Structure 1
Amino acid sequence: MPIRTRLALLALTLFTAFSDARADEGMWLPLLLKQLNEADMQKKGLTLTAEQIYSVNQGSLKDAVVQFGGGCTGEIISAEGLLLTNHHCGYGQIQSHSSVEKDYLTNGYWAMSREQELPNPGLTATFIVRMEDVTAQVLTGVPSTGILEAQRELLVQQNMQRVGQAAVQGTHYQSFVRPMFNGNEYYLFITEVFQDVRLVGAPPSSIGKFGGDTDNWAWPRHTGDFSLFRIYAGPDNRPAPYSPANKPFKPRHHLPISLAGVQPGDFTLVFGFPGRTNEYLTSWGVDETYSVSNPAKIKVRDAKLKVLAADMQASDKIRIQYAAKYASLANYWKKWIGENRGLRKLDAVRVKQQQEQQFQQWAEGGDAARKAAFAGLLPELQQHYATGRDYTLARDYVTEAALGVELLSYANSLLPLLDLIDKKVPTTELTAAVEKAQKGSTGFFRNYSAPTDQKVAAALLPLYAEGTPSALLPPTVQTLRQQHTTPASWAGYVAQLYGKSRLTSEAGAQAVLAEVAQGKADALRQDPAVQLALAIITTYRQQVLPTYNKAAENIALLQRTYVAGLRLQQPQRKFYPDANSTLRVAYGQVAGYQPADGMRYEFYTTLDGIMEKADPTNPEFEVPARLAELYRNKDFGPYAYKGTVPVAFIATNHTTGGNSGSPVINGRGELIGTNFDRNWEGTMSDIMYDPDRVRNITLDVRYMLFVVDKFAGAGHLVKEMTLVGSTAESSSPASEGKVKKMKVKQKRTKAEKIEA
């Protein structure tokens, strides 16, 4: 078949899929499951009702799901507030408790009593109490036409704040309102935020990060990516600041854990807080991502990661200091590479163009009102993307390259102090701002190495100078680019910068801040790092952001209209809003896939694969001696399946960042795994979903239980859990947990109903 014909068929297939409710695609609002999804979910194997998944006045699955910190998900797995999430989600907390002497990153950590559970200042666990469509309230008094997008957004934000505050007045709950469908709808979320979340257990990195960056975003996968925390509450079981007197939280529902495992075709449900998707992006938005943003960010992070990797390998101290930073940088670096591969494989720009052609025909073929509303929409979008293209690139180079240098990022954080001094604010206000900066400096320098950062600067500043459109570079950097044309010359300049700046050490920074507290602005203003940061940020704010923001505002306005038009054009389609860190349900089925011609991936991996990958010369594939011993002795306890232990499985659920740590639940409402990744071939699903290639990767609960019980000897934690079912090869002695059917009938008290 000619390539042109194949592409046309692919586009037709994908557009047909866009027009229908596609199997397994979607991140659905739990509030709307009854009307949109319940029948389809039950057809695929769900035995629960929508009410048992999401309910306000009785316990439901949602009451066992939390937003963990600001960017992950966790699930409650015991009546004592035990929380399961990913190892990489708890990585920052594990690192914060680690030192060269107590290296919990390398060796793992297990609290053998409640007294050993470690507090984590600033870490929160957020439950969703209820959600509500408040579109009418938010859009009250907001003109639909004849208003600038910035003015509209201001009115909307004011209304969102008013609606949110009114909803929780007089209660201990919190709230927020989020736009859906690019601002065509708005939903209120009432939350309960717990502030005392303690580290309970984490496997060594040789289990929790097994495979490292090599296996990240990849399948087959053998990573034991989990960690355990516990939520603590005050005497009334409500949120309270950390106190030794706090008690383990009593949840309205915790997830029973299934030992029965999974098979191809089994129903799976992912419940969590997906971060950001752009499923309704136009061809120009996709092309900007594919051709402009992703390549620039990949190049910058690739350079930074190489520097960090070398220094982390050479020093245990630097390895611990930069572990969380490196993991965060590497995660999206590899994701963007995979995303571009997937977009190219799907010919995404061409597919979007064909979708837009269909939309344009629909717009021009309608009545006068439809033509007026939609016929000129796409040409305007194209124009604004063209206007903003260079400014998008300049923005990416500032955020990734210039501020990717920690010295400049830190200097930038101190620039507001200069503004306060210039404005001659009262001494009390300046003193408060300096004290806040001093506290922040202590945290910054705890995980900072000036020699390492100097190497990063020598690698990144040339990329910033060369990659940014010349007209959008500060004059200072234009001069530097002319003066320094070789890596050695840039390294010399950077050495002088770091040699003269007082902000490369905590002692120097605190001394500068002490002078600023006395009103001596020159101590900060004359620092060379501050001068460079100020030059970059001034140009960024004056020359880049105004045009970038204007183009972005115009695109946002037109995109909102475009999405509204798509919903009118395709009335038979079930639309879901893009992910925006709000609670969502995705569902699919366990399935392998074919990544390329002649290749076929099975749906699960086992402990056998860990031993096959084992390589004592490669830190990413080291296997702990205890794990190898358990494998040799076939000492798998009740977690065995076919003579080994299942490690991970894949399914067709639609997930993204933020779904890390999400519970993966079977059709009976039982926990079967913890979501931790996607396959590399499917990372383009943030923009375009492909049912044949997109797979979410889940840690099998049996491997988690095996590590906790047999490897760590922390069987007391397993005894807290409610285990249901059994494998074919074992009973369940380690878990004297009661085998129970799902119970989600616990009703709220009268007071709780009123307060909610």
Structure 2
Amino acid sequence: MKKFNAIILALLICVPVLADEGMWMLGNLNKQTRKSMKELGLKIPANKLYNPDKPSLTDAVVSFGGFCSGVVVSEDGLVFTNHHCGFSAIQQHTTLEHDYLKDGFVARDRSEELPNPELYVRFLLSTEDVTPRILTVLTDSMTEEERHWATDSIVEIIQAEVYERDSTLIPIVDAYYAGNEFWLSVYRDFNDVRLVFAPPSSIGKLGWDTDNWMWPRHTGDFSVFRIYANKDNEPADYSPDNVPYQPPYVVPVSLDGYKEGSFCMTLGYPGTTERYLSSYGIEEMMTGINQAMIDVRGVKQAIWKREMDKRDDIRIKYASKYDESSNYWKNSIGTNKAIQQLKVLEKKREMEASLQRWIQNTPFERENLLHLLTSLELDYKQRREPGRAMAYFYETFMYGPELIQLALEILNFDFGAEEKQLVASIRKLLDKYENLDLDIDKEVFLAMLREYKKQVSPDYLPEVYNRIAADYGGDDKAFVDSLYANTKLTTPQALRWVAEQDSTFNLFEDPMIALSLDLIVKVFEINQTITETNMSIERDERLFNAAVRRMYANHDFYPDANFTMRLSFGTVRGYTPFDGAEYSHFTTTRGILEKVREHFDDPDFQVSPEILSLVSSGDYGQYANQNGDMSVCFISNNDITGGNSGSAMFNAKGELLGLAFDGNWEAMSSDIIFEPDLQRCIGVDVRYMLFIMEKFGKVDHLIKELIVGKK
């Protein structure tokens, strides 16, 4: 009996057991999950959360651009999302004359709202379990590659059936539980999304890298957009004739706030988690992609930041890409640190030891899976060095110097695409050129060359290093200088020459193109050495996932996040990050003033006198909390990850409390394992958002659009 209890205890360390853990599928909420939500305080029925036949809360939640989330808050299609989610759009409209990053943006009326050709929002219409249809074409005797081919074939059929019924829909079949289940999600996209309001970065990005992933937080991380449709309320490309979208459901805004223990739920589109990944996979993640991001991006970002701090034009050009790069860089630092401090690998290995004993003691499992964990261990060991080299290769070359990225895009440019797609691709390419500084990029290139050589063994060096040794006497700076001096890709003119088939220009003779081709060859070469191992690991992780779920069959498992809509729920709650410290569940504007004083010489904490006067005035009106203060941010133990940024945080009645925008530093391993005592979701208080909109932005016309509950 003691041995059995020990096995169960080890399992419970790595599987969900608390009501506030889990990113739940709306179309698959079982009775136990609904009961748990009710016990925590949910006051609306489950069919008000998701109902494919009637308007419900999910009809107001959007995937924002495919990388964030958002929520519809007015009958004229206003969308709230995070400032960092709208950051790229804000940056694209920013100039030295109109510095919307520094000063913020306000559309005084709808004619001033700014279109964003590359931006879209996606609404979920329905979900359906299609696992039985796909499993009927799969057999245990298939190789993993054969399984892929068979799965893809039936997925194409399922998606085509939706297209045939309505060609305006977006059907996507996603894999769940490491490929053991499959669900069809049907979406509708709206492509005319316009910028309406953005606070200054000193509000929306207060603290920048220093405060990123940290609590206490005082960042007003929000921005406002509007969805437009044609006159029939259907999706349409941008047109001056389009009108504001009329949604089937609008989320009301709460001014009541919250208290410690208040029910809180989050709806959005979390990116990817790996809660069921083996310990071998976690260890590979730490030493591979995470460490590559830490090392390589740290070098690149230091160059970018130095130049951004010197010149406003560089700050504007590089703001968005620096923001995106540094976010995952700091995430990787925090994740590796948390994995070690919270002993995540040790906990996973305890669970795997219990799994191995269960397999040995269960005849059917023993017959099929006796060597599963051994196989995983050996395959990950075989992939360790080439896999690590691939991680550094991609960070160094594919995500490093921007001129290489442009060369690869030109090489792969689809001149035969439909006109709409062709125009969008050209616009995207031109935007990249417009935001490129060649001197900075050349310095990054040189630093990347040196960093990669330092990090990997000689076997994984591309041909360019031999060329530097042979033709430049090992002088990598001379090589980079020559490369940038002789390539024709420093302007987008090369794309025009290729499109017009100019006989005076041979694309493949350009030194940057030649280098890019060498890099492609090296990537292919490294990848070929681990193709079979990759397939073996994918198969065994799928079997591992299924085995854990069978071992604890009575438990209510949720699938890993995969960019599909999910619900998480819990309570507003503070936490104890370490012995002797207690963090409250909310912050106020007093903290803004304290941070400005503490970091008086740091540009990341500089706030204009106008805003400082506003937040210290005490004139908060209906947006004040019960103590008369102005709340800025709050935390709950809701389960979130990347992609949840901009997700609506609701109270028990389905009213908007705020927007999720971050996790906390102490639980950065949350994509791998949930730590209930530490993990928190950081949100910006909707009352602070409305206060900034009304008092700073003077956008009373937007406030009047909202359904605002009275205190």
Same fold (TM over 0.5): yes
> 2:34 corresponds to which residue?
38
For 1:228-267, list aligned pairs within 5 A: 228-267=224-263
Q: Deviations over 1:520-572 (max 9, x none)?
A: 6x63222222222211211111x211233332221111111111111110012
> How far apart are the structure 2 equivalents of 1:512 and 1:466?
38
> 1:451 corresponds to which residue?
439
User: 1:287 aligns to what SS in structure 2?
Assistant: helix
Deviation of 1:167 after TM superposition, in Å, equals: 2.5
Q: CA 1:687–1:528 in 2, change beyond 3 Å: closer, same or farther? A: same
Q: CA 1:586–1:433 in 2, change beyond 3 Å: closer, same or farther? A: closer
* The one of 637, 640, 645 aligned to 2:621: 637
* The one of 474, 494, 505 aligned to 2:480: 494
Q: Deviations over 1:592-645 (max 9, x none)?
A: 111122222111111110011115532211123222222343221211122321
> 1:612 corresponds to which residue?
594
Structure 2: unaligned runs, 5 residues or longer: none
Deviation of 1:443 after TM superposition, in Å, equals: 2.6
> 1:536 corresponds to which residue?
519
> How far apart are the structure 2 equivalents of 1:150 and 1:398?
25
Structure 1: unaligned runs, 5 residues or longer: 1-8, 421-426, 727-756
> 2:342 corresponds to which residue?
346
The 4+ residue runs of structure 1 with deviation greater than 6 A are 9-14, 427-437, 481-486
* The one of 45, 70, 87 aligned to 1:49: 45
> 1:747 corresponds to which residue?
none
Aligned length: 702
Deviation of 1:147 after TM superposition, in Å, equals: 1.5
Contact 1:450–1:505, Cα closer than 8 Å, also in 2: no
Contact 2:72–2:79, Cα closer than 8 Å, also in 1: yes
Q: Deviations over 1:291-310 (max 9, x none)?
A: 23312220000000000001
> 2:374 corresponds to which residue?
379
* The one of 72, 86, 99 aligned to 1:90: 86
For 1:289-688, list aligned pairs within 5 A: 289-367=285-363, 369-403=364-398, 404-416=400-412, 441-478=429-466, 480=468, 489-507=475-493, 509-510=494-495, 512-513=497-498, 517-518=501-502, 523-541=506-524, 543-614=525-596, 615=599, 617-641=601-625, 642-688=627-673
> How far apart are the structure 2 equivalents of 1:603 and 1:192?
37
Counterpart of 2:457, as a letter, is P
Counterpart of 1:41, as a letter, is M
Q: CA 1:304–1:669 in 2, change beyond 3 Å: closer, same or farther? A: same
> How far apart are the structure 2 equivalents of 1:414 and 1:591?
50
Counterpart of 1:133, as a letter, is D
* The one of 136, 151, 155 aligned to 2:150: 155
> How far apart are the structure 1 equivalents of 2:688 and 2:458?
53
Q: CA 1:621–1:564 in 2, change beyond 3 Å: closer, same or farther? A: same
User: 1:653 aligns to what SS in structure 2?
Assistant: coil
Counterpart of 1:695, as a letter, is R
Contact 1:502–1:512, Cα closer than 8 Å, also in 2: no
Counterpart of 1:698, as a letter, is G
> 1:741 corresponds to which residue?
none
Deviation of 1:151 after TM superposition, in Å, equals: 1.7
Contact 2:648–2:658, Cα closer than 8 Å, also in 1: yes
> How far apart are the structure 2 equivalents of 1:366 and 1:15?
16
User: 1:198 aligns to what SS in structure 2?
Assistant: strand
Counterpart of 1:283, as a letter, is S
Deviation of 1:325 after TM superposition, in Å, equals: 0.3
Deviation of 1:430 after TM superposition, in Å, equals: 14
> 1:716 corresponds to which residue?
701
> How far apart are the structure 2 equivalents of 1:434 and 1:630?
47
User: 2:448 aligns to what SS in structure 1?
Assistant: helix
> How far apart are the structure 2 equivalents of 1:460 and 1:663?
39
Q: Is 2:68 aligned against 1:72?
A: yes
* The one of 147, 162, 168 aligned to 1:167: 162
> How far apart are the structure 1 equivalents of 2:427 and 2:262?
51
> How far apart are the structure 2 equivalents of 1:589 and 1:606?
19
Counterpart of 1:589, as a letter, is T
Counterpart of 2:477, as a letter, is A
> Structure 1 length normalisation: TM-score?
0.89
> Structure 2 length normalisation: TM-score?
0.94
Q: Deviations over 1:323-379 (max 9, x none)?
A: 110000000000000001110011111111111100000001011x22122211111
Q: CA 1:499–1:153 in 2, change beyond 3 Å: closer, same or farther? A: same
> How far apart are the structure 1 equivalents of 2:346 and 2:591?
39
Counterpart of 1:70, as a letter, is G
Instruction: State the Cα RMSD in Å.
Output: 2.4
Identical-residue share of aligned pairs (%)? 37
Deviation of 1:671 after TM superposition, in Å, equals: 0.6
User: 2:436 aligns to what SS in structure 1?
Assistant: coil
> How far apart are the structure 1 equivalents of 2:565 and 2:396?
33
> How far apart are the structure 2 equivalents of 1:514 and 1:188?
39
User: 2:704 aligns to what SS in structure 1?
Assistant: helix
Q: Deviations over 1:375-432 (max 9, x none)?
A: 1111111111111111211211221111211111222223347xx9xxxxxx989999
Counterpart of 2:324, as a letter, is S
> How far apart are the structure 1 equivalents of 2:424 and 2:621?
52
> How far apart are the structure 2 equivalents of 1:242 and 1:434?
16
Q: CA 1:485–1:463 in 2, change beyond 3 Å: closer, same or farther? A: farther
User: 1:66 aligns to what SS in structure 2?
Assistant: strand
Contact 1:201–1:227, Cα closer than 8 Å, also in 2: yes
> How far apart are the structure 1 equivalents of 2:568 and 2:153?
32
> How far apart are the structure 1 equivalents of 2:245 and 2:495?
40
> 2:677 corresponds to which residue?
692
Contact 1:679–1:696, Cα closer than 8 Å, also in 2: yes
Contact 1:414–1:437, Cα closer than 8 Å, also in 2: no
> How far apart are the structure 2 equivalents of 1:95 and 1:569?
50
Q: Is 2:12 aligned against 1:24?
A: no
Counterpart of 2:165, as a letter, is G
> 1:734 corresponds to which residue?
none
Contact 1:588–1:653, Cα closer than 8 Å, also in 2: yes
Q: CA 1:428–1:717 in 2, change beyond 3 Å: closer, same or farther? A: closer
Deviation of 1:14 after TM superposition, in Å, equals: 6.5
User: 1:672 aligns to what SS in structure 2?
Assistant: strand
Counterpart of 1:685, as a letter, is S
Contact 1:138–1:160, Cα closer than 8 Å, also in 2: yes
Contact 2:20–2:570, Cα closer than 8 Å, also in 1: yes
Contact 1:637–1:710, Cα closer than 8 Å, also in 2: no
Deviation of 1:468 after TM superposition, in Å, equals: 2.5
